Structure 1
Amino acid sequence: MNSFFQESLFAGVTISLLAYLAGSFLKKKFKLGILNPLLISIVITILVLVVADVDYDTYDAGAKYLSWFLTPATVCLAIPLYEQWQLLKRHWRAVLLGILAGVFTSMGTVFVLSLLLGLSHQEYVTLLPKSITTAIGMGLSEELGGYVTITVAVIVVTGVLGNIMGEAICKIFRITDPIAKGLAFGASSHAIGTAKAMELGEVEGAMSSLAIAVTGLLTVVFSSVFAGLL
């Protein structure tokens, strides 16, 4: 099986897509939040690699093509934002303050937890980009001197948890305003959370799309300040 992955140019892509399709099928059939397609695809892919005794580098050689679509897909999130432009203009102060609150809460909690858990500086900066999209987080982690592969894993886990638990948290705290809900998803769980926000409504999706871009920019700006705290 390992030789098959080495000889086949698109084996990694094929396994990844089939695993995601399986996750999507399970989500539609059982409609449970825990059955997030991305989470299921990760689990299935890991199982396949372990059972087939395929190392990650061999798998990545065939799956890396998927990452080429990451940046264009993120840029496309600007479309729902454009459709809600007038709404954004009316509430721009609340939107900006909401995103700022999300950015400082994310990096502030990483700082506090790193102190409590006694993490090293390298481990600390690895976690700082956890709430921004992978396209930005990878470069930021590398620049700060973190473990890029761990950063990617943390970003994915953050997004999946936001996608699964975000709606329930909004209900618990009685957050019903669509703008607030969209900003919360985008600022805390980036593109994966935005997918859930789009399921909730057009306004939620548009605000979440905006939050992804602005949160990524502000995190890049303020991360150097937070990185110097530990």
Structure 2
Amino acid sequence: MENLTATWEWLSTSPLLALTLTVGVYWAADKLWERSGRHPLLTPLLITVTVISIVLVVAGIDYSAYADGASILTILLGPATVALALPLHRQASHVKEAAPMVLGAVLVGAFFSIISGYWVTLWLGGSTELAASMAPKSATTPIAMALAEQIVGLAPLAVLFVMVAGLAGAVIGPKILDLVRVTDPRARGLAMGVASHGVGTSRAFQEGQTQGAFSGLAMGLTGLTVSLIITWLVP
């Protein structure tokens, strides 16, 4: 029994468990999503986050130990983001033609994202700290963490709100765009990238290369724009 306990204690803090759990659950979620006809509520990332959260709670595994074990996957986010430059390069001619639309969408989207995150939270009775953590939700995770701390928010809460924004955009974003009859692939990509950053960009690539390229561009520009204007909009 003691050997079994010692083995579990070692395994629960081992990077092997975190990597196997993350990759295995995502693979299964992706297969489930494909078999369901790509139902929006069965998006692989949403299912993966839910299942892993349940496993960590039931098994009593400390989140920090899991995060440290899966850190190699976090490191790979950098190269994956840089790789978005390839489809963007292939769509360079379309990007140049749509430059005014791109800049306008990014500026308006970043502005209202910060306003809705901060001031609406205060209006609903939330604390200043909660509102500051919500404000940079449309920036990518590293940027949102730094900005939240700069405006006296909480970095872990900012990460949570970034994830919620990304998942919500990936799940219901395309449906909303269909509902309001947005059919231009460039506009759809911009909307997904501005509102839901990396997760939305991944979803946009499922619609097409043009959507994905414009979403990747919008994601990068939105992170930059939010960084520049958030201190003007948040006291």
TM-score between both structures, scaled by the size of structure 2: 0.92
CA–CA separation in structure 1 for the residues paired with 2:157 and 2:9? 24
Is the Cα–Cα contact under 8 Å of residues 110 and 222 in structure 2 kept in the other structure?
A: yes
Matched, 1:188 2:195: yes
CA–CA separation in structure 2 for the residues paired with 1:115 and 1:143? 18
Task: Provide the residue aligned with 2:209 in structure 1.
Answer: 202
Residue type of the alignment partner of 2:107 = L
Residue type of the alignment partner of 1:66 = L
Residue type of the alignment partner of 1:117 = L
CA–CA separation in structure 2 for the residues paired with 1:2 and 1:170? 48
2:231 to 224, 227, 230: 224
Residue type of the alignment partner of 2:32 = L
CA–CA separation in structure 2 for the residues paired with 1:198 and 1:107? 26
Task: Provide the residue aligned with 2:152 in structure 1.
Answer: 145
Task: Provide the residue aligned with 1:12 in structure 2.
Answer: 18
Shift of 1:112: 3.1
State the structure with more CA Rg.
Answer: 2
CA–CA separation in structure 1 for the residues paired with 2:97 and 2:39? 36
Q: Unpaired runs of 5+ in structure 1?
A: none
Task: Provide the residue aligned with 1:93 in structure 2.
Answer: 100
CA–CA separation in structure 1 for the residues paired with 2:9 and 2:162? 28
Residue type of the alignment partner of 1:124 = A
Shift of 1:3: 3.8
Matched, 1:135 2:176: no
Task: Provide the residue aligned with 2:123 in structure 1.
Answer: 116
Matched, 1:47 2:58: no
CA–CA separation in structure 2 for the residues paired with 1:2 and 1:101? 50
Residue type of the alignment partner of 1:27 = W
Residue type of the alignment partner of 1:25 = K
Is the Cα–Cα contact under 8 Å of residues 118 and 132 in structure 2 kept in the other structure?
A: no
Shift of 1:144: 2.5
Task: Provide the residue aligned with 2:132 in structure 1.
Answer: 125
- SS of equivalent residue, structure 1 residue 34: helix
Shift of 1:175: 0.6
Most deviating of 20-29 and 212-221:
20-29
Structure 1 runs, 4 residues or longer, greater than 6 Å off: none
- SS of equivalent residue, structure 1 residue 10: helix
Residue type of the alignment partner of 1:169 = I
Shift of 1:111: 2.8
- CA 111–146 in structure 1, closer or farther in 2 if over 3 Å, else same: closer
Task: Provide the residue aligned with 1:28 in structure 2.
Answer: 34
- SS of equivalent residue, structure 1 residue 130: coil
Number of residues paired by the alignment? Answer: 227
For residues 172-225 of structure 1, the C-alpha deviation after alignment (integer angstroms, 9 at most, x for no partner) is: 101111111110000000011111111111111111010011000000001111
Task: Provide the residue aligned with 2:4 in structure 1.
Answer: none
CA–CA separation in structure 1 for the residues paired with 2:32 and 2:161? 24
Q: Unpaired runs of 5+ in structure 2?
A: 1-7
Matched, 1:73 2:80: yes
Shift of 1:2: 4.2
1:102 to 109, 126, 132: 109
CA–CA separation in structure 1 for the residues paired with 2:17 and 2:153? 30
